[in-house]
A and B are shown apart, each in its own frame.
Chain A
Amino acid sequence: DAKTTQPNSMESNEEEPVHLPCNHSTISGTDYIHWYRQLPSQGPEYVIHGLTSNVNNRMASLAIAEDRKSSTLILHRATLRDAAVYYCILNWAGQNFVFGPGTRLSVLP
Chain B
Amino acid sequence: DTGVSQDPRHKITKRGQNVTFRCDPISEHNRLYWYRQTLGQGPEFLTYFQNEAQLEKSRLLSDRFSAERPKGSFSTLEIQRTEQGDSAMYLCASSSPRRTSGGITDTQYFGPGTRLTVL
Contacts and interface: CB of A to CB of B under 8 A. Distances in A.
Interface of A: 2, 30, 32, 34, 36, 41-46, 49, 51-52, 85, 87, 91-102
A94 B95 contact: yes
| Size category, B interface | 20 to 34
A99 B105 contact: no
Contacts of B42: 2, 85, 87, 99-102
Classify the secondary structure of B's interface with A: strand
Contact of B103 (A34, A93, A102): A93
Given A44-B43, A99-B44, A51 B103 contact: yes
Nearest to B31: A94
Nearest to B105: A32
A90 to B, nearest CB: 12
Interface stretch (B11-19, B64-72, B78-86, B110-118): B110-118
Name, among A51, A91, A96, the residue most crowded by chain B CB atoms within 10 Å (CB to CB): A96
A32 B45 contact: no
Contacts of B40: 101
Contacts of A97: 33, 35, 43, 45, 108
Nearest to B98: A94
